Amino acid sequence: MLKLIKYLKPFIGLIIIAIILLFAQAMADLSLPDYMSKIVNNGIQQGGIVNAVPKAIRESQMNKLIIFMKQDDINLVMDSYTLINASSENYAHYIELYPALKNEPIYVLNDIGKSRIDELNPIIGKAFIAVSGVNKIKSKAKNGMIDFNGNKIPANTDLFNFFKNLPQEQRTKISDEMNKQFTALGNKMIIQAAAIPIKAEYEALGVDTEKIQTRYIINTGIKMLLISLISALCIIGVGFLASKTAAGLARNLRMAVFTKVQSFSKAELDKFSTASLITRTTNDITQIQMLIVIIIRTVFYAPIMAVGGIIKALDKSQSMSWVIGVAVISLLILITTVFLTALPKFRVIQNLIDRLNLITRENLSGMMVIRAFNNQNFEEKRFDQANKNLTNTNLLVNRIMAVMFPTMMLIMNGITLLIVWVGAHQIANSSMQVGDMMAFMQYAMQIIFAFLMMSFMFIMIPRASVAAQRIAEVLDTEVKIKDPENPKSSNKKLKGLVEFKNVSFRYPGADEDVLKNISFKALPGETTAIIGSTGSGKSTLVNLILRFYDVTNGQILVDGVDVRDISQNKLRDKIGYVPQKSYLFSGTIESNLKYANENASEADMNEAADIAQAIEFIKEKADGFKSKIAQRGANLSGGQKQRLSIARALIKKPEIFIFDDSFSALDFKTSAVLRKALNEKTKSSTIILVAQRISTVMNAEQIIVLDEGRIVGKGKHKELMKSCKTYQEIALSQLSKEELA
């Protein structure tokens, strides 16, 4: 997988932008539970009152509050408020805000910063709780007496005056005892406990407390909507960038694989089956494309969410951190088990896809042969077996994966119940707020979903890793036939001279040579024919000229230069090749002919088609040279395909023609006429002709007879009839003595 990372270099910019957007999305998503917690805690439970420092307090109420404060705290509080009465400049303004100002002066909070408010929260909050506690004591009077710290006090006693007259130390001690529970719980619980008396104070001032609550909830809700919108825009942006990056990478990989395969010699093509190369170029690259999308979406986002969720959850309640630990450990065990179980199966799946593609391709290519031998049932069974093997393996992997998601949901729901159970006890003990418990639950879900997203990546990585290895195998394959570092130029005086010097050749992995000590010259203006029994090495010999393979020993010279010292492009520019099996591309007759020379004129096409004896059937078609050619020339006969292949080579006008048994599909008459026209039009070119028919090679200036990879005869027809037994046997098996004379 790491070998393919270099193909991501053009997309580094897009990936960085995607990471920035993912970070923004994660921050937005992590902030939503906190706002939800604020709506529950501050908006619903506290009536929109977010701190224990009221904006205004009646003078009578302030006098009660300072009873329960230390002198330094009283000074701080008084410094933070301004007394407003009938003589104040802004009296008219404040009386609209606080109608109770008509009855008594009020203290209005100055414009102080957040740090001062944070400092005042515990001071004023505790004082409000203490005042509220005193009022509760008075409300519980029985039989005209108040029970206070075990002492009976008359119910008509002014407790606030009573406390005011006590020494400062005693007052502080009583105050601390009254709000000891809240002091231990921290500022949040102090503010929540003080919210009720503060709300009562606002009502006493004539303030619409419902409006305060509604405004807070709406404002917080709008913030949540804006954050959700930002998150949605980030998701869209990341999706676009991830798709663009993955699609671009897939495009570049397909081009790299295709270009690499184009450079393969036959040795490399024999190493990889055609079906496997197709799978690697399509299915395997698609697997990597899907992985890149998932990696960009999850490999950066999920860890941010997981770590951020843990931090946020601990901020809400450290006492429940063990719940997060249980969830994370459970998920890691599950993902590791699934990963180790499924990983070995993914390579098997890719190999089975290769096998299925191979059988399908063979079936489609060999359909006529299958029907001719009435073997449809056999092929169906063969395909069915390959299909079943792939299906069963896929089912096994999918069943393993199918177990993971319900198990994750079970863990998630179990964690939810655990949080509710533990959180309910803490809420009952006043050690946690309801909103914090709900936020903790959401953070726990975000952590679990982050691991769930990472599990998708872990599912894709094994399969994509196998696919990447298979692609890397193609890209890392060392091409054995390479251009020389310093290519030589051919002798300009020699045009089309081909010479074999003691050439031997052995296929990779073979035990013995296919060709042994082959030596001959093919001269310009002459036809050199190569004949021999099936398997004698005729096609292998001409493949060596084209450098489809390189010789094992010896040399092949073209125009006086070893073919290994010439660039492949220049070497093949000199050669017009007609393969044993005619191959046409989908398109038109014109596009197939111009495949050899894209600048060929209409006159060139007419001449080549005329020499190849193809002009007649081309003119019979309604569209002439514009007539459509199906894939592999499926809408043409074997003879027509062969003649168009020959015409294609002729349009190139090369110095050397190689015909590898290229007249086998032609009848004797057409073959004779074609060869006669060919000899007339290509007098200056070297013609190397591989054939099995004696009639095709009889008039050649030089005939090479091969038998088991060795030259057993060399000369003209009449000479070989006298001197070469192998040639005689081939000739007499095809023609009578009178025809051979």
Mean pLDDT, range 721-732, rounded to an integer = 88
Is 186 a domain residue? yes
Identity at 153, one-letter amino acid code? I
Residue entry with tokens 């400049």:
89
* Domains held by the chain: number: 4
- Of the listed ranges 4-8, 452-456, 620-624, 695-699, the least confidently predicted one is 452-456
Identity at 451, one-letter amino acid code? F
What's the rounded Cα separation, in Å, for the pair 586 and 5? 36
Question: What would the pLDDT profile of 463-477 be if each residue is shown by its tens digit?
Answer: 787 788 888 888 888
**pLDDT at residue 441 is higher than 80:** yes
Same domain? 647 vs 658: no
Same domain? 608 vs 741: no
pLDDT of residue 501: 93
**pLDDT at residue 179 is higher than 60:** no
Mean pLDDT, range 430-451, rounded to an integer = 81
Q: What angle do CA 732, 733, 737 make, to 5 degrees?
A: 25
Residue with more model confidence, 664 or 597: 597
Same domain? 632 vs 665: no
Residue with more model confidence, 365 or 92: 92
Is 223 a domain residue? no
Given 444, 476, 508, which residue is the final one in a domain?
476
Is 400 a domain residue? yes
HSE-CB for 256 with a 13 A CA cutoff:
19
Same domain? 634 vs 661: no
- Of the listed ranges 15-24, 212-221, 257-266, 348-357, the least confidently predicted one is 348-357
Same domain? 556 vs 666: yes
What's the rounded Cα separation, in Å, for the pair 412 and 36? 20
Is 218 a domain residue? no
Mean pLDDT, range 537-558, rounded to an integer = 90
Question: What would the pLDDT profile of 560-569 be if each residue is shown by its tens digit?
Answer: 899 999 888 8
Which H or E run includes 703? Answer: strand 702-707
Residue with more model confidence, 455 or 417: 417
Which H or E run includes 72? Answer: helix 71-80
pLDDT of residue 144: 67
Confidence category of residue 242, pLDDT binned at 50, 70, 90: very high
Residues with Cβ within 8 Å of residue 159, at least 6 apart in sequence: 134, 137, 138, 146, 148, 153
**pLDDT at residue 731 is higher than 80:** yes
pLDDT of residue 514: 92
pLDDT of residue 301: 86
Q: Ranked by mean pLDDT, which of 99-103, 350-354, 357-361 comes out on top?
A: 99-103
Mean pLDDT, range 592-619, rounded to an integer = 87
**pLDDT at residue 379 is higher than 60:** yes
pLDDT of residue 515: 92
Is 484 a domain residue? no
Given 594, 623, 653, which residue is the final one in a domain?
653
- β-pairing, 710-715 vs 702-707, is antiparallel
Q: What percent of the chain has pLDDT over 70?
A: 92
Same domain? 304 vs 433: yes
pLDDT of residue 485: 84
What's the rounded Cα separation, in Å, for the pair 714 and 583? 31
Q: Which residues of 360-381 are buried (b: 16+ CB within 10 A; e: fewer)?
A: eebeeeeeeebeeeeeeeebee
Same domain? 560 vs 702: yes
Q: Would you tell me how many other CB atoms lie within 10 Å of the CB of residue 540?
A: 19
Given 653, 683, 699, which residue is the final one in a domain?
653
Question: What would the pLDDT profile of 333-346 be if each residue is shown by its tens digit?
Answer: 887 787 777 777 77
Mean pLDDT score of the chain: 84
**pLDDT at residue 245 is higher than 80:** yes
Closest CA to 382 of 372, 399, 370, 394: 370
Are 356 and 397 spatial neighbours (Cβ–Cβ below 8 Å)? Answer: no
**pLDDT at residue 446 is higher than 80:** yes
pLDDT of residue 14: 92
Same domain? 570 vs 625: no
What's the rounded Cα separation, in Å, for the pair 141 and 157? 11
Is 725 a domain residue? yes
Same domain? 595 vs 739: no
Same domain? 176 vs 271: no
| Residue 575, phi then psi, degrees to nearest 5 | -115, 135
- Of the listed ranges 152-166, 283-297, 407-421, 619-633, the least confidently predicted one is 152-166
Q: Which domain holds residue 354?
A: 2-15+235-476
**pLDDT at residue 181 is higher than 60:** no
Q: For helices 168-178 and 114-139, what crossing angle results, to 10°?
A: 90
pLDDT of residue 692: 85
Mean pLDDT, range 20-37, rounded to an integer = 90
pLDDT of residue 247: 93
- Of the listed ranges 310-314, 402-406, 490-494, the least confidently predicted one is 490-494
**pLDDT at residue 542 is higher than 70:** yes
Same domain? 190 vs 271: no
pLDDT of residue 498: 92
- Of the listed ranges 172-181, 215-224, 363-372, 473-482, the least confidently predicted one is 172-181
Which H or E run includes 560? Answer: none
Mean pLDDT, range 486-513, rounded to an integer = 85
Residue with more model confidence, 217 or 165: 217
What's the rounded Cα separation, in Å, for the pair 693 and 467? 48
CATH code, domain carrying 429: 1.20.1560.10
What's the rounded Cα separation, in Å, for the pair 326 and 312? 17
Same domain? 413 vs 273: yes
Is 673 a domain residue? yes
CATH code, domain carrying 677: 3.40.50.300
Is 23 a domain residue? no
Question: What would the pLDDT profile of 141-151 be if each residue is shown by its tens digit?
Answer: 666 676 666 56
Total-model pTM: 0.72
